[in-house]
Amino acid sequence: MPTYQLFATTPKALEDILVDELKSLGIQNIKATMAGAAFEGDLEMAYRACLWSRVANRILLVLSTFTVKSQQDLYDGVQKINWSEHLNPEGSFAVTFSAKNSEVINHTHFGALKVKDAIVDQMRAKFNTRPTIDTEQPNIRINIYLQGETARLSLDLSGESLHRRGYRDVTIKAPIKENLAAALLLRSGWPKIAAQHGTLVDPMCGSGTLLLEAAIIAADHAPGLLRDYFGFNGWKKHDAQCWKKLCAEAEKRKYVGLTKLPVIVGFDQDRHTVNIALKHIANAGLQNKIHVERRDIAEAAPAESWQPGLLICNPPYGERLGDEQATAELYTTLGETLKSQFLGWQAAMIISDPELGFRLGIRSQKPITLFNGALECKLLRMTIEERAFFIPKAQNQEERLAQVTASSQEEQSGSDAQMFANRLKKNLKKLAKWAKQNHITCYRVYDADLPEYAAAVDIYQGEQTWVNVQEYEPPKTIDRLKADQRLAGLLAEIPKVLDVPRENVFLKIRRKQRSADQYEKFADTARFYEVEEGGCKLLVNFADYLDTGLFLDHRPVRLLIQQQAKDKRFLNLFAYTGSATVHAAVGGAKATTTVDMSNTYINWAKNNLALNKTTGGHEFIQADCLDWLAHEAKQPVPRQYDLIFLDPPTFSNSKRMDDVFDIQIDHVTLINNALKLLFPQGVLYFSTNFKRFKLDTEALSGLTIDDISADTIPEDFARHPKIHYCWRIVKPCVE
């Protein structure tokens, strides 16, 4: 058998696991790189990696490496391969192209077309016929990776990512891929625990990914055995006998392994999700090997007969400024369950916000960094024992406000508060001039400029001047009395510096919140005040909700929409109080559609629009935007818009939604559905406040995507340039 240059790709931070895995398969001379490993081997080694790797994404067989200094170089480099050795003239192929730091080709769709042309032209010249393009299950899949001026041309032996084991219903989205789930289990010591007959429990099992990967690991089950398609199936050099031999060997190992399988159990509170998990288990042929039942996290407990082992889960991520309640309560409950029911067990979970781990009240080992897609996460590992327990402090909004009010009555000011006053005066002098020149009446004048005074101060000008103060909840390491006194001093100085009556200063405590908290009422004054922005009249409320009804950092985006809306059809998704709709209408939009889940905000949006004398047709829809968008995208003739604004929450598990939404995991589907409602050459503005968000440009290839974040951060938010990210996405014309 000839020896080939091979390359295995894997998610970032899993390279060491991949190397160990390849070594266990008998592969030598492995060189780890970022998100992968290069190695040499014959076809049997390559097949073995495809069949047995638990953490790899793809196994690539390198055909050529060449220099690309021009588009013609790419074409010529691909043509140097004799493609008839790999593909029949009437066969099918697909091309995956990616580029990094290339000055020649940085548009993946264009690069893929250039590669396709080179192959088709060669085959047509030789055989007077050409192969077809099949993006689903082609005979061969060609992979090109262009880094700088160096191109690596490979055959993708995987065909599709190896994380797709074959047991998952592809129509059901999952919050974690199978190879990352396997990595969590390997990092958490599951193989050793399983060998000692320890039990595995996932108390939030969802669609069952962790349960299935745990069973496959414990049973010495090759993860590729369930797949019916690999990239080498239609390759002319495929060695069917070799592959058949490896599969037969793997089947024998699985048969023996399943007889030694330990207890594996999953719980989930959602009946529909439990049914999905059971379906996936059946697809894997593991019925009666994994137990799943409907049970709330607070009721999760091991049976007396279960040997202590590993509790592992992937709890929901909750990250948005002003976000903690959604997940804080869940983590607190999970911690209480662990401490009361799982003493003597090991526990592991992947989280995106390390602060949430504090809510468990259990000390963990040093966290391990992993990546769920582009999202950086931490794997927490704990031994559930009493000496590791601690009690996290918590305090609700009402208690905090009462304390501050009491401190404020004592007029705590002094030299420290004078420091705040001086900074506020300095900021006001600069920003008031800027605001006047740009006709801005609502703006942020202070945003935690001094660490001791961690609050945001916003000015709203209408018939009167109002001030909205949001205190960022102080860390638990800060003495609460001192924090109260500083906040009281801040509240005492604001009316003096800004020359507003004390009753026109409103205070809220801003803590990490669930996305649904914007719907939660703090009061019921129903008092609205009229302000102006870019010629638009808008209503704000300072007392009843966490937010006022107007996100000030999105002011430039709204003005951009207003400038571009004339004679356009505009769609506002996750519309909140409809301020972007008002801007579009005032800008001359032909028609607008405003969609939001909250009836409160739909009515607020209607009232906002009613303040402004506009023409055109205006439609308001109360619906879960995710469901509404998915439904409309599936229509034979979808609605069509010229301009769309998409500003979803970071995370939501609202009871009004059927599923958990996570912007990092779900944004590709969300954007693609929105694009189905966009005219060719139409513009989609996509924005998020998730500070660690990474746009999956590879999954969104073929689009014109411009990062306009820097251009949409206004002067009053320049001190925090990551307050939001924003992209301008243009839908290409149909070829």
Antiparallel, parallel or unpaired: β 368-372 and 375-383:
antiparallel
Q: How far apart are the first and last CA of the chain?
A: 44
4-156 and 178-226+255-388 have identical folds = no
pLDDT at 409: 45
Instruction: Report whether pLDDT(573) > 50.
Output: yes
**How many other CB atoms are there within 10 angstroms of residue 288's CB atom?**
6
How far is it, in rounded angstroms, from Cα 640 to Cα 632? 10
Q: Check: CB of residue 181 under 8 Å from CB of residue 167.
A: no
The domain covering 178-226+255-388 belongs, at the CATH homologous superfamily level, to Vaccinia Virus protein VP39 (3.40.50.150)
How far is it, in rounded angstroms, from Cα 274 to Cα 267? 8
Which tokens go with 8?
């295995």
Q: Check: CB of residue 521 under 8 Å from CB of residue 559.
A: no
Q: How sure is the predictor about 428, in pLDDT bands with cuts at 50, 70 and 90?
A: very high
Q: Which residue has the higher pLDDT, 66 or 614?
A: 66
**Which stretches of 262-346 are DSSP H helices?**
271-283, 325-341
Instruction: Report whether pLDDT(518) > 90.
Output: no
How far is it, in rounded angstroms, from Cα 613 to Cα 602? 18
Q: What is the largest CA-CA distance in the chain?
A: 91
pLDDT at 237: 97
Q: Check: CB of residue 260 under 8 Å from CB of residue 194.
A: no
CA nearest neighbour of 60 among 81, 82, 38: 38
Tell me: the pLDDT tens digits for 289-311? 999 999 999 999 999 999 999 99
pLDDT at 652: 65
How far is it, in rounded angstroms, from Cα 146 to Cα 202? 41
**Domain spans of the chain, in order of start:** 4-156, 178-226+255-388, 397-512, 542-730
Give the pLDDT mean for 242-265: 97
Q: How sure is the predictor about 555, in pLDDT bands with cuts at 50, 70 and 90?
A: very high
Amino acid (one-letter) located at 245: K
**Which stretches of 105-166 are DSSP H helices?**
108-127
DSSP string, 49-97: HHHH-SS-SEEEEEEEEEE-SSHHHHHHHHHTS-GGGTS-TT-EEEEEE
Q: Check: CB of residue 319 under 8 Å from CB of residue 352.
A: yes
pLDDT at 285: 96
How far is it, in rounded angstroms, from Cα 152 to Cα 360? 46
Give the pLDDT mean for 322-328: 55
pLDDT at 485: 79
Instruction: Report whether pLDDT(479) > 50.
Output: yes
pLDDT at 443: 98
Which tokens go with 642?
């010229």
Which tokens go with 198?
């320890």
Tell me: the pLDDT tens digits for 595-654? 999 999 999 999 999 999 888 899 999 999 999 999 999 999 999 999 999 999 887 654
Q: Give strand ranges (E) for 647-700.
A: 651-652, 661-662, 678-688
How far is it, in rounded angstroms, from Cα 370 to Cα 678? 35
Instruction: Report whether pLDDT(354) > 70.
Output: yes
* 118: phi then psi, degrees, rounded to nearest 5: -65, -40
CA of residue 98 relative to chain centroid, distance? 21
**How many other CB atoms are there within 10 angstroms of residue 271's CB atom?**
9
Q: Check: CB of residue 491 under 8 Å from CB of residue 417.
A: no
Q: What is this structure's pTM?
A: 0.61
Instruction: Report whether pLDDT(403) > 70.
Output: no
How far is it, in rounded angstroms, from Cα 555 to Cα 717? 11
How far is it, in rounded angstroms, from Cα 45 to Cα 22? 9
pLDDT at 516: 38
pLDDT at 398: 46
pLDDT at 109: 86
pLDDT at 656: 43
Tell me: the pLDDT tens digits for 484-497? 778 888 888 999 99
CATH T-level assignment (fold) for domain 397-512: Transcription Regulator spoIIAA (3.30.750)
pLDDT at 524: 61
Tokens 């937010």 belong to: 547
Amino acid (one-letter) located at 157: L
How far is it, in rounded angstroms, from Cα 661 to Cα 175? 9
In CATH, the number for domain 4-156 is 3.30.2130.30
Give the pLDDT mean for 539-544: 91
Q: Which residue has the higher pLDDT, 46 or 105?
A: 46
Instruction: Report whether pLDDT(146) > 90.
Output: yes
How far is it, in rounded angstroms, from Cα 335 to Cα 249? 43
Tokens 């992209």 belong to: 727
DSSP 297: G
Instruction: Report whether pLDDT(710) > 90.
Output: yes
Most confident of 105-114, 228-237, 322-331, 396-405: 228-237
Instruction: Report whether pLDDT(477) > 60.
Output: no
Q: How sure is the predictor about 397, in pLDDT bands with cuts at 50, 70 and 90?
A: very low
The average confidence (pLDDT) of the chain is 89
- Would you tell me which CATH number, out of the four given (1.10.10.10, 3.30.429.10, 3.40.50.150, 3.40.30.10), belongs to the domain 542-730? 3.40.50.150
